[in-house]
Structure formats: structure tokens, C-alpha cells
Amino acid sequence: MTTLPINEANVVAVLTNREREIMRLVSEGLSNKEIGRRLNIADRTLKVHLHDIYQETHARGGNEGQLPLV
């Protein structure tokens, strides 16, 4: 697996539409609960999406860092 440098174009290329939507809501400052309600998904489902986003973008999650903005 080739690791690409993280930039906006690469992030958009590796994420699904739902993951990009979640990233947008995270960047707006919504909590997980608010995002789940807005997208009508369970907390666990949201956490799986966030985990996938962190893995695909090599971002650090939680209090350690920020997701790249899309």
C-alpha cells in the first residue's frame, strides 16, 4: 500500500461521500451525538466512520489532533 502525502485532494480521493459528510460536520464543531442525530445513524456507526477516516487520512483522533478539512 502506497502512502500519499496528506492534502485536500488526496483526502477527498480516499473518503466515501458519507465520510466526507461526517468530516464536514466535525469541522463545523458538531458533537458526535449531534452528527448522529443529523445523519440518523447510531453512535457506534459514527465511531466506525470516524475510525475509518482517521485510518485513511493518517490523522490523529480525539484530543490529540485534528482531521484535515475538506
**Residue range 12-37, pLDDT digits in tens:** 678 899 999 999 999 999 999 999 99
The verdict on residue 67 lying in a domain is: no
Distance CA 67, CA 58 (A): 9
For the full predicted model, state whether its pTM sits above 0.85.
no
- Angle CA(61)–CA(39)–CA(9) in degrees, nearest 5? 55
Task: Report the alpha-carbon distance of residue 62 to residue 55 in Å, rounded.
Answer: 13
Residues near 49 by Cβ (< 8 Å), separated by ≥ 6?
Answer: 18, 19, 22, 41
- The whole domain housing 40 covers 8-62
| pLDDT tens figures, 36-49 | 999 999 999 999 99
Is the residue at 35 inside a domain? yes
Q: How many domains does the chain have?
A: 1
Q: Is residue 53 part of a domain?
A: yes
The domain spanning residue 55 has which CATH number? 1.10.10.10
47 assigned to some structural domain: yes
